[in-house]
Structure 1
Amino acid sequence: MLSIENGILKGRKINIVPDKRTRYTPANVRRALMNIIDVKDMNTLEIFGGSGVVSFEFISSGAEKVTIIETSRKACSTIIKNSKILKINNKLKLICSDFRKALKKLTEKYDLIFLDPPFQMGIADEALEKISENKYIYNENTLIIVEHSKREKLKKTYGDLILDKEYNYGDIKISIYIKEGG
């Protein structure tokens, strides 16, 4: 079980994905994210959703709605169960698909895009490239936040996305990208 760390759902427990390959954003990093960013009234997109815990933190901290992209059927089932436990189904849209296919179909603008791909497999790099190719989903005010291993080197730019800030939490690095000129 995981606990929500912030906001109105703080302390509520959710299920983990029954798959040992799933890695979770640590509680200290989730708390730090909510201290860095005010998600109130935001429309957010989470890619590589896992249990949904980061999106649930967003909702708990005031996000208007969340969209989660997740390819694992086990994880999608867990996200659905967790959203029912938390009674937030009305604020959640779940896309059970590979991120490459899903990103091509999105046309909605997001205020915040959060990625937590498997570490050190080059997927963070690929996902940032795919996001930069779909200019329909972000604008000059959108924050693109990537959680990755500090050993994984990301580029400073991806299309018109530029690295704005970085934060370190042990082995985890949070990189925040914005649209150039934003």
Structure 2
Amino acid sequence: MVGQLRIIGGEWRGRRFPVTHASGLRPTADRNRETLFNWLQGDVEGRQVLDLFAGTGALGLEALSRGAAGAVFVEKSRPVAKSLQALVQRLEAGSRAEIVMADARRYLQTVPRPFDVVFLDPPFGTGLLPEVVAPLQRGGWLAPEASVYVESGLEEDLRSPGDDWLCRREKTAGGVCYRLFQVAG
């Protein structure tokens, strides 16, 4: 275990948890998460959330802490998924959290269900964002007027990842660009 994850707000506010070391694992910084959830305001409570490249689960856990009805965490690394499962159990969030150990692209080939909020934060420089945006758009994964958060490196310009995605908010910090889109619907 290296580093820590801190929940910023909600039910588990201020709680800290160890983070498993894994290649390419880059948890969303506290400041970026705080900004994101300020942007989302009332868009999380009672909603269904998909954390597609879950890693530490920071985004999905923050959503659950702030009242999301449920969250699906998709993570392809077995050790990271196991660590996330242990954390979900420790928080007693098992009834609202589902951990799926799978590659994000493969997960999007399964039977879709609509999500109100989707977090897309893949490892930078992998080219995965365009590969998951298309199936998200056409596959029934997005509820009407869903919010989609996209975090990428500055070199990965995704100003308009989807045909009907409107950029609500945008910010850069260091080498990270993060945007919140609203899907027209």
TM-score (norm 1): 0.91
Residue 18 of structure 1: aligned partner: 21
**Whole-angstrom CA distance in 1 between matches of 2:102 and 2:52:** 10
Matched, 1:147 2:147: no
Residue 80 of structure 1: aligned partner: 85
Residue 28 of structure 1: aligned partner: 31
Q: Find the residue that maps to 2:179 and give its secondary structure.
A: strand
Report the CA distance between 1:106 and its aligned residue.
3.7
Residue 98 of structure 1: aligned partner: 103
Residue 158 of structure 1: aligned partner: 162
Structure 1: 5+ residue runs without aligned partners? Answer: none
**Whole-angstrom CA distance in 1 between matches of 2:32 and 2:161:** 24
49-58 or 11-20, which deviates more: 11-20
**Whole-angstrom CA distance in 2 between matches of 1:162 and 1:45:** 19
153-162 or 49-58, which deviates more: 153-162
Matched, 1:43 2:48: yes
**Whole-angstrom CA distance in 2 between matches of 1:177 and 1:30:** 15
Deviation by residue 1:58-112 (Cα, 9 ceiling, x = unmatched) = 0111111101111110111011011112111111011111111111214221110
Report the CA distance between 1:164 and its aligned residue.
4.1
Matched, 1:179 2:183: yes
**Whole-angstrom CA distance in 2 between matches of 1:26 and 1:149:** 13
Matched, 1:130 2:123: no
Residue identity in the other structure for 2:21: P
**Whole-angstrom CA distance in 2 between matches of 1:5 and 1:155:** 27
Report the CA distance between 1:139 and its aligned residue.
3.0
What are the residue-to-residue correspondences of 1:100-115 with 2, within 5 Å?
Answer: 100-115=105-120
**Whole-angstrom CA distance in 2 between matches of 1:105 and 1:160:** 23
Structure 2: 5+ residue runs without aligned partners? Answer: none
Report the CA distance between 1:177 and its aligned residue.
2.7
Q: Find the residue that maps to 1:8 and give its secondary structure.
A: coil
What is the RMSD computed on CA atoms of the aligned residues? 1.7
TM-score (norm 2): 0.89
Residue identity in the other structure for 1:50: G
**Whole-angstrom CA distance in 2 between matches of 1:106 and 1:33:** 29
* Identity among equivalent pairs (%): 24
Report the CA distance between 1:20 and its aligned residue.
4.0
**Whole-angstrom CA distance in 1 between matches of 2:120 and 2:132:** 8
Q: Is the 8 A contact 2:171 2:178 kept in 1?
A: yes
User: May I ask how many residue pairs the two structures share in their alignment?
Assistant: 180
Q: Is the 8 A contact 1:66 1:91 kept in 2?
A: yes
